Each structure stands twice: as C-alpha cells, then as structure tokens.
C-alpha cells in the first residue's frame, strides 16, 4: 500500500518518468532553508552559485556536491520523512542517498543545463534512481525551471556530446542533440515543492530571466542493491531501512555544520565522484 502517492501517480512515473510537483515543506520551513543556505554562502563565499562572474567559484566547486555531509540542516532534509515516503512508494523501503547537487542560477544570468540523462555518467547500475529536486525559490519558465522529455527514461543511453560550454552548469557541458522541444514539458515548482524524476529521463533547463535567484537542490536516492561500476569504491548515506548489500561505504551523519568526521567523508566522496563524472569525457576538440 503506497504511503503518499496514488496508484495513478506511480503509474505515471513508470510511463512518463516523472511525478507532478508535490509540496513537501511549508512556506515557513522553506524560507528557513533558504536563509540557512544564504548564511552559509555569505560565510564561505558564493559556493553554490553558477554565476562565475559574481562568485568567482568554478562549476565544479566541491561544496556543490554531497553537501548534506557538510550542512546539518541539509542532512536533516535528506532524511525528511515526507520525502522518503514518496521515494519509498517508487523504489521500496530500503533507501540510500547517493548524493546531493546544488543548482543555483543567479537572477538574469545566462547559465543553463543542456539536455542530458544523468544515468549516462553516474556509473550506477540501477534503473531505479529517483531524483528529488526541491525548490528553495520559484522555479518556473521565466526563472529557468527543469524541462523533461516524457517517456525518454525508456531510451537507454541517448548519445551525449561534451561541449564544456562556459555557461553550461553540467560538469562537461554534456548535451543530447535533436530533442523534440515541442514534446517536452516544464516542471514548474513553487518554493517547498519537489519535482521527482527518474535519472534516465532526458531533462534540461534554460537561463534565469527573473529578478530572483533560482535555487534548487537535487537529492538522489537509490536502493542498496545498486553498484558503482566505474570505480571500486563509492559511498552513500543510509536514510531508511536496511542495507543488506554493503556495496557502498555508509557515510556518517553530521551532528553540526562541518562536523570533522562527515567532512572527511565528504572529501573522499567528492574526489571519487569527480572521477566518475569525468570518466570517458571527450576532449574539447573531439
């Protein structure tokens, strides 16, 4: 018996590769999360922004990945019971959080995400990874919300080209060409709502033409039987149920921001994930 999702919503996820936006945080709670993020950015430099002109930070800044190991409030969020109930409805009761990724676009900036399938370059052998993309500000067509191509999760390994375009927010600027834009749909979400999609689903997003920052955090959940096939070692956080497989080193949960034990786990995981993201990358001039 599903905990949150209707049978129709689960069927739509299987058919189309995504679930219609759902609210998981109240307006007050999401405002608190945004304030926490912005206080962290002010203290440590704008490490989550993709706007290099403003932030001076690179697109691959370490704090953008696995930041639930750095920030206590974000760690609490990846364990949020409502989010986990939804994910459990889709992939079962034993859940690991493999990673978290920040996607922050400053107001009126050219940064974008090209069409891609995450499954193509994360080295995970599962077809059950669920991405939960939580909005901390308005994400709509004007601010560059996620667009998806319904049903594309059934097309394994669409061809990607590495572009390294300076405004592309993906590590290698990887892109699928020739997507039928007319068949794709916007996943607009209000602050506190999540867009939920299969990591094989082709998705993209356009620049933020609005007056506010567009802030989202992608939380990636997998079942514990998943294996990392590109590298001999990987880590994840057990967020619900049991891990009876031991394919991932289980990460400590930070007790406070920059908890030394979790910071060490973040350092190792960040180095390993970087290797995975760049595995088989095409040289710039290929």
Ligand X SMILES: O=C(O)CCC(=O)C(=O)O
Contact residues toward ligand X (CB under 6 A) are: 103, 113, 118, 131, 133, 146, 203, 205, 216, 218
Residue number with CB closer to ligand X (37 or 113)? 113
Residue 184 vs residues 84, 138, 148, 196: alpha-carbon distances, Å: 27, 20, 5, 16
- The nearest distance, CB 220 to ligand X, in angstroms, is 8
Beta bridge partners of 196: 19, 132
- The nearest distance, CB 216 to ligand X, in angstroms, is 5
- The nearest distance, CB 259 to ligand X, in angstroms, is 26
- The nearest distance, CB 207 to ligand X, in angstroms, is 10
- The nearest distance, CB 265 to ligand X, in angstroms, is 22
Q: Residues, the chain, total?
A: 286
Residue number with CB closer to ligand X (250 or 281)? 281
Residue number with CB closer to ligand X (189 or 259)? 189
- The nearest distance, CB 204 to ligand X, in angstroms, is 7
Residue 236 exposed, middle or buried by CB count within 10 Å (0-12, 13-18, 19+): buried
Q: Three-state SS across 115-152?
A: EECHHHCCCECCCCCEEEEEECCCECCCCCCEEECCCH
Residue number with CB closer to ligand X (188 or 259)? 188
Whole-number Å distance between alpha carbons of 45 and 256: 19
Residue number with CB closer to ligand X (13 or 133)? 133
Residue number with CB closer to ligand X (219 or 265)? 219
> 198 — phi, psi (to 5°)?
-70, 135
> 47 — phi, psi (to 5°)?
-75, -15
Helix 7-16, helix 81-91: angle, nearest 10: 70
């Amino acid at each position: 018996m599903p905990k949150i999702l209707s049978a129709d919503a689960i069927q739509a996820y299987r058919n189309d590769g995504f679930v219609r936006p759902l609210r998981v945080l109240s307006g007050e709670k999401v405002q608190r999360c945004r304030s926490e993020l912005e206080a962290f950015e002010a203290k440590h430099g704008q490490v989550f922004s993709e706007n290099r002109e403003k932030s001076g930070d690179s697109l691959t800044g370490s704090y953008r990945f696995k930041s639930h190991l750095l920030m206590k409030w974000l760690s609490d969020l990846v364990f949020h019971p409502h989010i986990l109930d939804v994910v459990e409805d889709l992939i079962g009761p034993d859940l690991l959080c493999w990673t978290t990724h920040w996607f922050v676009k400053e107001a009126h900036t050219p940064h974008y995400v090209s069409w891609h399938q995450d499954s193509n370059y994360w080295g995970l052998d599962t077809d059950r990874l669920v991405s939960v993309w939580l909005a901390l500000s308005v994400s709509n067509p004007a601010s560059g919300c996620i667009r998806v191509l319904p049903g594309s999760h059934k097309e394994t390994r669409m061809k990607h080209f590495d572009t390294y375009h300076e405004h592309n927010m993906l590590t290698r600027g990887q892109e699928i060409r020739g997507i039928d834009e007319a068949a794709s749909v916007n996943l607009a979400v209000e602050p506190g709502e999540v867009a939920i999609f299969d990591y094989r689903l082709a998705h993209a997003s356009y620049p933020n033409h609005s007056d506010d920052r567009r802030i989202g955090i992608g939380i990636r959940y997998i079942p514990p039987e998943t294996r990392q096939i590109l590298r001999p070692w990987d880590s994840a956080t057990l967020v619900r149920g049991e891990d009876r497989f031991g394919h991932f080193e289980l990460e400590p949960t930070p007790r406070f921001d920059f908890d030394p034990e979790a910071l060490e786990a973040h350092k190792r995981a960040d180095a390993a994930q970087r290797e995975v993201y760049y595995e088989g990358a095409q040289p710039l001039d290929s």
